[in-house]
Every structure is written in C-alpha cells, then in structure tokens.
C-alpha cells in the first residue's frame, strides 16, 4: 500500500473517531452564543433534515443518514434573570476579595474552608455561641468547627511527641492550676498543643500573633471545644490588639503563665496591665523578635518574671528554623506565584538558620542564590556552602526574588524597591513585618493591585511592578502551611518549658532570660525518634566514665554548637 493511501486511511479513521466523540460529549455551557464552525468532512457530508425540525444530519459514504449531535440552546432569558439577582453595586475591595478567594482555593489547603465564606461581617459584630451555649470567643464562623476538628485530627498523626507527652503526663496533671494566656499562630498544630496543655490541667485563652495565619476552621473547632479563642484570618491592626486585650482583660480570670510568639502579648501586658506580673510565674517565648525584646527588658532591668528562650533551644533552632523553612519557602512561593525556580536569581538576606534553610532549598531547585550577612561567621559559612556573599545594592537590579530573614528592620527599603526589575518577587521569612518597608509603598504615585489572597502587585508610574507577598509578613504561615512534624518538635519544647517554669521551686529562676535545659532538648528529640524506627546506641559504663558523662545524658555541654 502506498504512503498516500495509508495517510488517507488514517485521516478517515481519525475523523470518524472525532465524530463519534462529539456525539457522546455534552458541550459545556458558555456565556455567549456559540458561532457554529462547520468543519469539512473527508468521509461524510451533511444536509438539512426536515425530520429534525430544521436540524442537520450526516450523509455517510454508504448513503445512510445519521443524526448530527445537537447543541443545547442557551437560555438567555434565564441567564439574564440570574445575572440580575446579583448586586448591581459592588465595591472594588469586594471584587478583588472574591477574585483572590476563588484563586486561593486551589492553592492553599489552609484556605479551603477559611476563604470560602462570603460573609463580610466583622466577627466583632457577631453574636455566636457554641453547642454548649458558651460565647466567650470571637472567631469567623463557629459553623466551621467540624472541618477544623478534622484538620486537628490529621495534625495529631504527625505530632507523635506531643501526643506521647499528653499520654504520659495526663494522670499527673503537671499544669493543674495553670492559667495560660497565649499569642501564637492559630493552626491545627497549635490546637494540638492547646488541647495537650488542657489535658495536663491548664486553662487557656488564646489570640493570634499574625493577622493572616489563623485557620478559621481550626479556631472554630477550638471554640466549640470550650477554648476562649479570639482570632480570625485577615484581622486589621485594630482587631489584632483588640483580640489580645480580650484574652487578657477578663473579669474573674487572671493569667499566671504567658506563651508568646513575637513578644506582642508580653508588650501589651507590660503596657496596659503591669500589675498582672505580680501573679505571673513566667514567660515562654519562641521567636527571634520576641526573644530580642525580652533581652532588652532584662538589660534595662524591667523584666520582672523569669522567661524561657525557646527560640534558641537546639530543637527549635535546627528543626523549626532550618528544616522547616527549607521546605516551606518553596511551598509559599509556589502557592502564591507559581514561579519556576530553575535559573532564577535570588538574594537571601540573612544566613542564620532560616536563611540557611531557604538558601539550600532554592539552590537545590536550580536557582542562583546570593546571600547578604552582617556576621562574619555566618558570612563565611555562606561562602563555604557555595553561595556568593554580596551587598544588597550590588544585585538589587538583577535579582528575580528577594527574601528577608534577618529579624531586623528596614532591610529592604523604598530605594531598593525603586531599583528592582519588573516582576521581582519580594517576601519575608522573618517573624515580624518590619524587614520590608511596606509603609513606604503606600504613596499616591504607586498603585496597589490585589492579584489573589496575600499577593499584591505594586505598580510604579512607568508601569513597572513588583510582586509583594503577604504585605511583608511571614510568608510560610501567611501564604501556605508548614510541616506538622517540625511543629511537633517546637510545640513539645514549648509545653516542657511551661511545665518547667510553672513547677520550678521559688528561687530556681530569677528575673532573667534562660535557655531550655539541655536535658529537655534531648528528651524532645528522643520522643520523635520512634517515628523513623531509629535506635540509639547506648554507652557502656566504661565509655561513660571515659567521657565523663551520665549514661542517660545530657551528652553535650551547654556551649556545644550543633
């Protein structure tokens, strides 16, 4: 058979397949009338068929007549009626919110329930009660509690140490009588921590440390479970402080322990209710920013209770800051921008544990990574890890992504953003929103355009635009999620620090900032090893004596750098 004959035969078969598929697939409805496009057929032609009310039929090569697939007619009258039901006046803010919500649903599991509500009423204006009649909370929607409970149950599976701690200490109730006021990210992982603290005997009242990181469905599940939670995703600055005040200022209840993330709760109590510190036994702080504030208070002689620096514990530094950020930086950038990392030029500001994690992840994805650093030791580490150490102004015109993770303020100022290339992505991986000078971008000559949830285009008069994520706030918890297993390590460390401070005899801890005892750090790590079916080697008596160690630890001195 000739090549031409084979080609003609294949074309005939393909056209028959297309015709058969068209007869079985129902067309999707569209918003305008379709323009019929009549394709030439090699093996059939069509003619009007009077039996089908003006429809058309195919005449096959053998002379038989086959009915053509009929298109559904669009009901313009019904469609117009449905269109008229929509509000005729809609604010630009509402429109951009609806666009961003529909966009985010497919990108963020944390937003799947959180952003689906069309209710624009502020939670502060709502009167809500849980199934038991309790109204001591303020959240987005109590009806989302069932969804939140499922999120919490999933998180429990990846938090083995916290669940083990709950099981082991539940009978002893080491936190009986503790009244803990907390200000952290309100996520499913935090919910597992709160329920563990409750199981150990504590009463808890909670607010969010970030206006964008709250999972509304989780907050609803906590409120349904009897917790006093004051938080929702998308709070204003005024809402943020109002929620903290509602946690602290309540008749007949006064906290005796503080669990903080960023220092805002501690700052608010010092500012508004300083007399509360007479009954507070201690503060547990987990962020760089919050710890910095505590050391400032201690240096000034204003720290009036003991404080535990969880951030600089080994398990927090190495696992939450390094390994967590190594994964969550990619997740946050992908969900918000769909960016391709290969070949992109990225500058990471700061090479602490967070910066190390971010840089390693981006390098592994094929990005060209630059690092800025003020500390010569961290700078040397960056060089030895294969990164080029630069000043930000040397590369600001050419980079595609700018990531801050210093814990400082005004790292990326307006001068740098004016010089950035069109489409440059700017984001922050530090706790506080002070690293990027966002306030300098709120000027009349610049236009802000909301693209999707937590993604803004800031447009210059000449048309240049940068992509600002989460308005300069913490990227991974504002725009995505973080690995639950890593948060299990941090949450267990926080729980042990609370137990230690609450039960410590008077005089053990003075009005200063302390690190978590090394023994507790090792205990937290050991609780997570069974997940990996890991088996520790044990020292013999002779070996322990040779090293001058206790067989059960601690195995390293406090000055040891892991």
- We report the CATH number of the domain holding residue 391 as 3.40.50.720
Give yes or no for residue 288 having a pLDDT over 70. yes
Instruction: Tell me, yes or no, whether 177 and 308 share the same domain.
Output: yes
What is the domain-level CATH number for residue 190? Answer: 3.40.50.1480
Instruction: Tell me, yes or no, whether 271 and 400 share the same domain.
Output: no
The number of domains in the chain is 2
pLDDT of amino acid 120: 75
pLDDT of amino acid 60: 52
The tokens for 427 are 């984001």
In angstroms, the Cα distances linking 190 to 96, 228, 372, 430, 492 are 30, 14, 33, 19, 11
Tens digit of pLDDT for each residue in 473-531?
999 888 888 889 988 999 999 999 999 999 999 889 999 999 988 899 999 999 999 99
Instruction: Tell me, yes or no, whether 327 and 300 share the same domain.
Output: no
Range of 501's domain? 126-312+483-532
Residue 206: CB atoms within 10 Å: 27
**Taking phi first (over 0 means left), then psi (-120 to 50 degrees means alpha), and beta for anything else, what does residue 470 get?**
left
> Are 255 and 181 contacting, i.e. CB atoms less than 8 angstroms apart?
yes
Between 172 and 363, name the one with better pLDDT.
363
Q: What is the mean pLDDT of the chain?
A: 83
Instruction: Tell me, yes or no, whether 349 and 415 share the same domain.
Output: yes
Nearby residues of 64 by Cβ (< 8 Å), 6 or more positions away: none
- Rounded CA-CA distance 437/413 in Å is 5
Instruction: Tell me, yes or no, whether 271 and 383 share the same domain.
Output: no
Q: Which of 110-114, 153-157, 479-483 has the highest mean pLDDT?
A: 153-157
Is residue 84 assigned to a domain? Answer: no
Is residue 265 assigned to a domain? Answer: yes
Is residue 9 assigned to a domain? Answer: no
Confidence of residue 419 (pLDDT cuts 50, 70, 90): very high
Q: Cis before residue 554, ω within 30 degrees of 0?
A: yes
Give yes or no for residue 377 having a pLDDT over 50. yes
Instruction: Tell me, yes or no, whether 274 and 357 share the same domain.
Output: no
Is residue 558 assigned to a domain? Answer: no
When pLDDT is averaged across residues 280-299 and rounded to a whole number, the result is 93
Helix/strand/coil percentages in the chain, nearest 5: 45, 15, 40
Is residue 23 assigned to a domain? Answer: no
Is residue 518 assigned to a domain? Answer: yes
Give yes or no for residue 225 having a pLDDT over 90. yes
Between 255 and 71, name the one with better pLDDT.
255
The tokens for 112 are 């799947």
Instruction: Tell me, yes or no, whether 288 and 415 share the same domain.
Output: no
Give yes or no for residue 51 having a pLDDT over 90. no
- Rounded CA-CA distance 205/228 in Å is 5
Instruction: Tell me, yes or no, whether 420 and 524 share the same domain.
Output: no
Instruction: Tell me, yes or no, whether 144 and 284 share the same domain.
Output: yes
Helix (H) or strand (E) holding 368: strand 368-372
When pLDDT is averaged across residues 197-221 and rounded to a whole number, the result is 95
Instruction: Tell me, yes or no, whether 351 and 411 share the same domain.
Output: yes
Give yes or no for residue 98 having a pLDDT over 80. no
- Rounded CA-CA distance 544/184 in Å is 41
- Rounded CA-CA distance 492/159 in Å is 9
Give yes or no for residue 109 having a pLDDT over 50. no
Is residue 91 assigned to a domain? Answer: no
Q: Are strands 425-428 and 44-48 parallel, antiparallel or unpaired?
A: unpaired
Confidence of residue 306 (pLDDT cuts 50, 70, 90): very high
Nearby residues of 198 by Cβ (< 8 Å), 6 or more positions away: 204, 227
The tokens for 13 are 């078969």
Give yes or no for residue 25 having a pLDDT over 50. no
Instruction: Tell me, yes or no, whether 296 and 359 share the same domain.
Output: no
Is residue 108 assigned to a domain? Answer: no
Q: Are strands 307-309 and 513-515 parallel, antiparallel or unpaired?
A: parallel
Residue 373 phi/psi, 5-degree rounding, is -160, 145
Residue 134 phi/psi, 5-degree rounding, is -80, 135
pLDDT of amino acid 289: 87
Instruction: Tell me, yes or no, whether 475 and 490 share the same domain.
Output: no
Confidence of residue 66 (pLDDT cuts 50, 70, 90): low
């Amino acid at each position: 058979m000739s090549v031409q004959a084979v080609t003609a035969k294949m074309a005939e078969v393909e056209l028959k397949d297309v015709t058969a598929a068209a007869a079985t697939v129902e067309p999707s409805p569209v918003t305008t009338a379709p323009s019929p496009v009549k394709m030439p057929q090699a093996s059939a032609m069509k003619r009007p068929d009077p039996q089908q009310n003006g429809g058309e039929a195919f005449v096959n090569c053998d002379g038989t007549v086959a009915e053509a697939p009929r298109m559904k007619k669009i009901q313009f009258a019904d469609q117009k009626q449905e269109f008229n039901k929509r509000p005729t006046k809609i604010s630009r803010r509402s429109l951009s919110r609806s666009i961003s919500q529909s966009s985010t649903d497919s990108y963020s599991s944390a937003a799947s329930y959180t952003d689906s509500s069309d209710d624009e009423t502020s939670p502060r204006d709502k009167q809500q009660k849980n199934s038991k009649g309790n109204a001591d909370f303020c959240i987005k929607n109590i009806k989302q509690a069932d969804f939140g409970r499922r999120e919490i149950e999933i998180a429990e599976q990846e938090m083995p140490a916290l669940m083990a701690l709950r099981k082991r200490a539940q009978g002893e109730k080491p936190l009986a009588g503790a009244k803990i006021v907390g200000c952290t990210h309100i996520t499913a992982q935090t919910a597992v921590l709160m329920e563990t603290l409750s199981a150990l005997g504590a009463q808890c009242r909670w607010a969010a440390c970030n206006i964008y990181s709250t999972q509304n469905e989780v907050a609803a599940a906590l409120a349904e479970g009897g917790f006093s939670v004051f938080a929702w995703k998308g709070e204003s600055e005024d809402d943020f402080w109002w929620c903290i005040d509602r946690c602290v200022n309540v008749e007949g209840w006064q906290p005796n322990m503080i669990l903080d993330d960023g220092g805002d709760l501690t700052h608010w109590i010092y500012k508004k209710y300083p007399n509360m510190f007479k009954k507070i036994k201690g503060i547990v702080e987990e962020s760089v920013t919050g710890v910095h504030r505590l050391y400032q208070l201690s240096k000034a002689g204003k720290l009036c209770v003991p404080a535990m620096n969880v951030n600089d514990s080994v398990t927090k530094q190495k696992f939450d800051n390094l390994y967590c950020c190594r994964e969550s930086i990619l997740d946050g950038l992908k969900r918000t921008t769909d960016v391709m990392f290969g070949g992109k030029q990225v500058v990471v500001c700061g090479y602490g544990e967070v910066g190390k994690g971010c840089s390693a992840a981006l390098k592994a994805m094929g990005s060209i990574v630059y690092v800025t650093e003020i500390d010569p030791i961290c700078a040397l580490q960056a060089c030895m890890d294969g990164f080029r150490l630069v000043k930000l102004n040397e590369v600001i015109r050419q980079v595609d992504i700018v990531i801050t993770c210093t814990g400082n303020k005004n790292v990326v100022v307006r001068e740098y953003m004016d010089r950035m290339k069109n489409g440059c992505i700017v984001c922050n991986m530090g706790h506080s929103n002070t690293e990027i000078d966002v306030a300098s971008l709120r000027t009349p000559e610049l236009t802000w355009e909301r693209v999707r949830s937590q993604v803004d285009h800031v447009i210059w008069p000449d048309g240049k635009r940068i992509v600002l994520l989460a308005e300069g706030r913490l990227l991974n918890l504002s725009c995505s999620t973080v690995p639950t297993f890593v948060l299990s390590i941090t949450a267990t460390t926080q729980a042990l620090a609370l137990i230690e401070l609450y039960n410590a005899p008077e005089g053990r801890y003075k009005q200063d900032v302390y690190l978590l005892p090394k023994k507790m750090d090792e205990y937290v790590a050991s609780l997570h090893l069974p997940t990996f079916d890991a088996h520790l080697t044990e020292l013999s008596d002779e070996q322990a004596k040779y090293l001058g160690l206790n067989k059960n630890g601690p195995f390293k001195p406090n000055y040891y750098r892991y």
